[in-house]
Structure 1
Amino acid sequence: MSFAFISAFAQIPTGYYDGTAGLSGAALKTKLKQIITNGHVDHGYNGLYTGYQTTDRDNIAGIPGLENDNTILDIYSENPNGTDPYSYSYPGAQCGNYNSEGDCYNREHIVPQSLFSSNAPMVSDIHFIRPTDGKVNGMRSNYPFGKVGPTSYTSQNGSKLGTSVSPGYSGIVFEPVDAFKGDVARMILYFVTRYETQLSGFGTGNMLGGSSFPGLQAWELNQLLAWNTADPVSATEIARNNASYAYQGNRNPYIDHPEYVDQIWGSPVVDTQAPTAATNLATNNPTSNTISLSWTAATDNIGVTGYQIYVNGVLYSTVTGTTATVSGLNPSATYNFYVIAQDAAGNSSPQSNTATGTTLAGGQPGGSCGTEDFSNIPASASSYATQTWTSNNITWTATDARTDQNINGTGDKAITIRNGSLTSSTISGGIQSLTVKAQLKFSGSASNLNLQINGVTVGTIPYTSTSTAAVTINNINVSGNVVISLVNPVTDNRIAIDDLSWTCYTGSLGTVESSKDKAGFSIYPNPVRNNELFVKGENLSKISKAQIYDFSGKLIETIENPFKNSNKINLKGLVKGNYILKTDSFSTKFIVD
């Protein structure tokens, strides 16, 4: 889309950008700050929901990937390549309390309001505050935006939280889907322009630069410039900019004039060079269900950020070092392995040499797999915030959590969550059972934590104010890579968690089918052909969600209200293999031929 076309379509007021001709760098940025400060009317924090009536609606006909159904356009749930996992009709479903995605939407400060102490007019500036799903907003927390490597959380539209692989920063970051990366970049560039004279008094949040120019930390600026280039201004951004101008009286200059970005900060360095292949891949130390790998590092012109490990041609996991242990293997079985190096730009190396390894005989599922005693949590603090730490190569994220409590009678450290959750990064080896201690702190009433594996609730952990005994959930039986989450569904109950452990599982994905389910529901044909799976049973239309897993436990697809209009599920070209169909009424296995 040409700049001339964008400018014409954007309905920029005549003379709005007078005085910018011939300027560049800091001088152009300061001139733009003066322009977009004039006319800015602060309607207050509560006014944002009124503004969203016109600024953030999915109502632009003919735009690929949008439904044009007038629902809230949420960058954390919008699926540009298919049906949205859920949607919100305006003005309903404003948060409120939430436990999971799809409960409600609230106001997401793309630049966290904690950095400017929630002061006006920043706290209510609609140009960088979007309506987004409450759960995903909470998971993003106050983290900067960047490219995620090892992932601890993935939303239903593919937005991710995890360890940064953006060059120059190795902390926790949040990564939106590709279709909105440019949007996020231009909102942040607007912020550091509109408020450039105040930046020195703001917190940095590992993203802001603390000075008027360039306004951002070098790593974040480089990442945002790359996103701005890769995801150009869209028709939806132009429409939002026009509506925001009508509501608030000022504009985002980087939507009206995308060329200003390069004129101020320069062009990003585009990395098109792939890493070399890793070499000398070898297998060693086999057990009945694990094989260890080692290899010689790849090289890259900027830097290798990780290695993808493939087992029998299927992606197993991504690691940052040059060693790994592959778990969840079958006894007395032979496997082929190779690795592929990647850099921060997403360039992939050729595959390494293939190494073959054979597990030992006699393995059984159920061996000890991991523990977490919370000894590495952040320093003792009574305030509630997102807490992150790493133990035994697992990164744990506790949202709305404090670090100063313990389980009565132990004196050991514990993590205490309020309206949040405790979530692991991806763990190999599967999970058969899990054991944990939980205790209610302060006021509230006895209840349960929800245990989720790969986003699916598999059991509950009861707690009381006097409980100190460990609780075990058995027969979870999910193999392959897993993410463990303990979620508090009770608003304002504060629960201390300690002594977490789990056992491995090397069998197939567990799908407990009760006699009622078997009698009440059936699927056909099985094996499935022509990508169509039919389900027979009573009250199909009342089933709210269907999920498809592969036998490693990986969630392939979530379908909302799957049988609202028919008893057929379109499998959208799943490759040949074995899968699990799980709904809120039944769970069963099927084969794609």
Structure 2
Amino acid sequence: MKKILLPIILISSFVSAQVPAGYYDGTAGLTGYTLKSKLHDIISEKNVNWHYGDLQEYYKQTDLDIYYDHNNTNNPSSGNYILMDIYSEIPNGADAYEYNSTQLQGTGSITAEGQAWNREHMIPQSTFSTGSISNYPMYSDLFYVVPVDGWINQRRSNYPYGVAGSTVYYNFTNGSKIANDATPGLAYTGHVYEPINEFKGDVARALLYFAVRYEGKLNGFNHNAGTTPANDESQFDGTEERAFEPAYITMLKQWNALDPVSQREIDRNNTVYSIQKNRNPFIDNPGWVDLIWSETPDTTAPSAPTNLSVVQQNANFVNLSWTPSTDTDILGYKIYMNGAATPIVTTKNTSISIDRLTPSTTYTFTVKSYDKGYLESPISNSAAATTIASDGFAKDLMITKYLEGSANNKAIEITNKTGHEVNLNNYNINIQFYSGTSYYFSDSFQLEGKIANNETFVILNPNAAFPCYTNSQAKFVTASTPMTYTGVQYVELAYKGFGTVDGIGLKSTSNTNSNVSLYRKAGINQPATTFTVSEWDSYPINYCQNLGTLSAADLIASNKEFKIYPNPVDDNLFVSGETQDIKTAQVLDVSGKVIYTEKDPFRNKKNISVQNLSTGFYFLKLDEKVYQFIKK
């Protein structure tokens, strides 16, 4: 079918904005994976994540077929919305069929092309699902969840996009096909779906958007799900930076060049931005594809990091630091615990908090660096740490406010009182429903980013209309299933799927938290895997005072951070900061045993005498804050 350029007056009603001024600030001069990480930070900030069920309505804005001749059947003013389908559109001929926005149907009842359309995840849901549960925000991201013919979607299954070989299993009406894989350089030998040339760039830019948008989570997705590369359908390689297998990246780069950005993509990018508040950077600047995936790694493994040491030990976490490898192409560091072959975490920094540890337990840590070629260094020196018996920090994140108000007024506040920065990428919000015969967990919302100690954040339903809190103030804005609770459901903060950290209500029962604002009492400083109503104060419907802020007591405490010096120390350990209100100073050995106590230690001085201590590692506990030091 012949492509036509419509008058600007027709498409302007579907375009709300161009690239906002300053949106890509900070990217100038960046290349490679550094640019990719910067773009991730930009497009992941302040998104609005909608419910999967909302997409059908939003497609009336994002995916109208106004770029090809459709026999004058597209008349939005009459309620007739013809959708653009890249799996069936014939650019230079008559389409075999077209879809009205109302013709959404599940795949199970579709038996041929042209019967109904589906919501297609260009990155299959199996990549980021947990069993039968789909995880937001990936589940409903408009940049790669698009309307397509249901029969083709069903035939594509979880097969990757790729270059079709000579054995064709399905030929579809617009020339796209499913065949054996003939993508140069791939070890994969399964089926692939090859779109027509008109839309190969659209596909490539959508997949590369996913690799940027969800950096930090990619290693936790179901990559390399097959037992061998030959039957691995994902083409993700488990890396956060490169994301895909090198040969697959090569193909996506070729597709990006073969099919330049079209006006349809530009308009769709602008419209999705108006709905979702982020953009596909490769539509705004397709040259970034080659600029990012242009690394030319060497073949020499990097040198080992050195001087790994434990700089702070507490009951549930330890802080590590090390001297970086001397190589210039280091991407990051892998931290290993107790001699395990698999790293427990990776970081781009040269220090980290290792949390979720057990009190009074000895751990041993080592570190390896890895470079742009994903070559690993030799292992660092070993550093041992014994967590102390107890401290005043929370053992994990905790829910501190729960708002269930009228209509969509739903908000959850979470606070970090752990004593260290927390990586949120492994945390999610779960919800449990009743089917009429049994209770079950439904789709989940995954958190992302980091939260500093003594900081709090809010998860808000985007349709909320609280009198004292808005979408722009919340860290996460989502209409995902967990944020549609009505007060009768059990809602929880969980770690890595279903490791309960804190919860509202009780599991497998009908709760009574409707039309209420619950605020955690000031004296409660630990999360609870079992909800206890006595830990909460109850307020009227739609009450939201001080949402997203620490209490006055917490703010005062957060400002009282101390520095101890010198470290290592000879005779006197000095403490800087607002020490005048410290009630008790204690010195503990590595087992957590108190060996010295001093009341009001800084009434007339700034130091603690340690001259009688033997050489070794110790802790200085100032009320509820704990610092490690070394006695020479």
Q: TM > 0.5 between the two? A: no
Which structure's CA Rg is the greater one? 2
Q: Give the TM-score, by structure 1 length.
A: 0.42
Q: Give the TM-score, by structure 2 length.
A: 0.39
